[in-house]
Structure 1
Amino acid sequence: MELFTPLPALAGGVLIGAAALLLLLGAGRIAGISGILSGVMLRPWSERGWRLLFVAGLIAGGWLGFTWLDLPAPQLNLADWPVLAIAGFLVGVGARLGNGCTSGHGICGIGRLSVRSIVATLVFMTTGALTVFVVNHLLV
């Protein structure tokens, strides 16, 4: 908590919520990243356009944050890549099993008062907290 920045975090949250609402109201689509990304890879070309634009916007937003706003980039050690790859794979499997990810369930689903999304968000937040506890206190 040494770099606690509530105002930028609030602004980021508002932008994410506004983007999710805009996509829902404007295109009738849910801004769940796992569903959008799997649609880029698995859907017919005629259904990939908006998904590709959404992913491009995510990449462009990150790039703009690093270049225009001078936000710090994460520092990764080359030795961390195998762990990150395994963790990413497990997150992908979990998102597939849970029929969505944190953005789909946590932002869009809770916003629509979906019981399934509320339960899913409670489960993955609890699991994440327990994982942090185990890694920081029991595996040291």
Structure 2
Amino acid sequence: MIEIERKFLVKSEAFKSEAFKQTRLIQGYLNSHKERAVRVRIKGDLGFLTVKGASTANGLSRFEWEKEISKPEAEALLNLCEPGIIDKIRYEVKVKNHTFEVDEFFGENEGLIVAEVELNAENETFEKPLWLGEEVTGDAKYYNSQLSNNPYKTW
């Protein structure tokens, strides 16, 4: 249940033509504390409840637990969330042996596009596509839980 990922800004929309899947995500936070975040997400017709722990010092790893719930349950829980609902489309792009999840944000975070790649080990190598920009792994302001409190449009 340890998630290892690296996060990058995206410098072009070329990823859209390479995506094999795209899904609208609506999510909110019941708790967005830096030591633990409790997220409610609607992904298509499914709901999810996720708990994330604090990141390691380098920002690469953290505890993550997720449970599927019904969409009506997720919709009800979204009404209890802190202000700042996240609205985004997630594009999935296969690059060699890895799948990048590219999030294009809307609403108060419109204009922000971030890509994440999950790894099996912190030192795992992967090919970086041309549309990948600056690495922001470990920069808390790019965490969705922080974007809900301090949206991109206010920076």
State TM-score, norm by structure 2.
0.25
Higher relative CO (Cα under 8 Å, sequence separation at least 6) belongs to 2
Higher helix proportion (structure 1 or 2) = 1
State TM-score, norm by structure 1.
0.27
